[in-house]
Amino acid sequence: MDKLQAMETFVRVIEAGSFRQAADTLNVLPSTVTRNIKELESHLGARLLNRTTRAVSATDAGLRFYDSCKAILRELQEAEAQASQRTEALRGTIRIGTTSSLARHCLIAALPAFMRRHPQIELELHLSDTMVDVVRQGLDCVIRTGAPRSSQLVARRIGRFHWIVCGAPDYLAQHGAPRSVQALQQHVAVGYLGGHAGRFAHWQFQGAAQTTNIGMKESVRVNDTDAYVDAGIAGLGLIRVASYMVREHLAAGRLIRVLEDAHAEPEPISVLYPHSRHLSPAVRAFVDWSGEVVARASSKW
C-alpha cells in the first residue's frame, strides 16, 4: 500500500463527500478509491468512514486522522517546493468559511490585491450565516462575528463592529422615531429567521447596570441578511443590523439611524481554525491578510 496515496485518497473522499466524486477529482476509477480506503482502514485497524447509500461521513477516528493527513500532505508540498526552489511562490487551494454579508461588504472587493500578491493560490469561499463544523466541511479557516463559541478552535480577533437600529425615512415619517429603548415596543420590526422563528423580534441592549430585552411585533420575516436590509429600506419595519452592512445606505439617506445613545460593547470579528491544524504558508498568508483587511475596514464602522 502506498501510504501517501492512500492518505490523499482519504482526504479527497472526506472533502468530496463520496467515493465517486473523489475518484473524479483524482482521475481514477471508483473501485481504486474503494480499495485504497479498505487497505488504509485495514492497516490502521480502525474504521475511518461511515458509509450509507446516500453519503459518506467521517468517524471520530476518521476526523482526527483527516486533520493529521492534511498537515502531512501540506508539509510534503512545502518540502517539495523548497527542494525545487519555489518557496517564494505560495500555492495551493484555501477553503474559507464566512458569512455572505462579510464577504460582500469587506472581503471580496479586497481579494484582487491578495490574488495579485499570490497568483498561484486558489480560494474557495463557502458562505453561510449558520455555524459550520470546520473539520467536517474541510475548511482551512472561518471568519465569524460574535464571541467564539468553540474551544476546539483557535480564535484570532481581527476587527469589530456595532449593532445599530435604523429605519427607512418613509417608516419614520409615518410612525415616528423611537426616543428610548422601551419605546421600541410600540414599533414594528423586520424579523430575521436565522435567530428565531416566532412572531416577535427580541432585541437585546446592554446597559451600564443591566441587560434589556425588547420584544417587537414583526411585519415580515426573512432568512437572508441582504433581504433583511432591503426590507428595512422598503419601510417594512425597523431593523437592527451590523454597522458594516448599512454604512453606504446611511450615507445615501436610504436608512436613518435611531437610538444612537443606546450604546453597546462592539462585537468582535475573528478568524478561527482548529487547534490541531498545521497552517500551511498559504493559509497563514491569507489569515494575516484578512486580519489587515478587516482591521482596516472596521476602523470605519
User: Tell me: the pLDDT tens digits for 97-115?
Assistant: 999 899 998 999 999 999 9
pLDDT band at 196 (very low <50, low <70, confident <90, very high): very low
What whole-number percentage of the chain has pLDDT above 70?
Answer: 89
Q: Is the pLDDT of residue 6 over 80?
A: yes
Lowest mean pLDDT: which of 35-49, 64-78, 231-245? 64-78
Q: Under a CB-based contact definition with an 8 Å cutoff, are residues 141 and 96 in contact?
A: yes
- How confident is the model at residue 88, as a pLDDT? 57
- How confident is the model at residue 201, as a pLDDT? 65
Same fold, 92-153+271-298 and 163-258: yes
CATH superfamily of the domain spanning 163-258: Periplasmic binding protein-like II (3.40.190.10)
Q: Is 137 exposed, middle or buried (0-12, 13-18, 19+ CB in 10 A)?
A: middle
Check whether domain 92-153+271-298 has CATH 3.40.190.10, yes or no: yes
- How confident is the model at residue 84, as a pLDDT? 57
- How confident is the model at residue 230, as a pLDDT? 96
Q: Of 3.40.50.150, 1.10.3720.10, 3.40.30.10, 1.10.10.10, which CATH number belongs to 3-83?
A: 1.10.10.10
User: Tell me: the pLDDT tens digits for 172-184?
Assistant: 999 999 999 889 9
Give the mean pLDDT of the chain. Answer: 85
Q: Measuring CA to CA, how many Å separate 63 from each of 1, 29, 31, 136, 244?
A: 21, 24, 23, 7, 36
User: Tell me: the pLDDT tens digits for 75-89?
Assistant: 787 676 666 545 456
Q: Indicate the domain borders of the chain.
A: 3-83, 92-153+271-298, 163-258
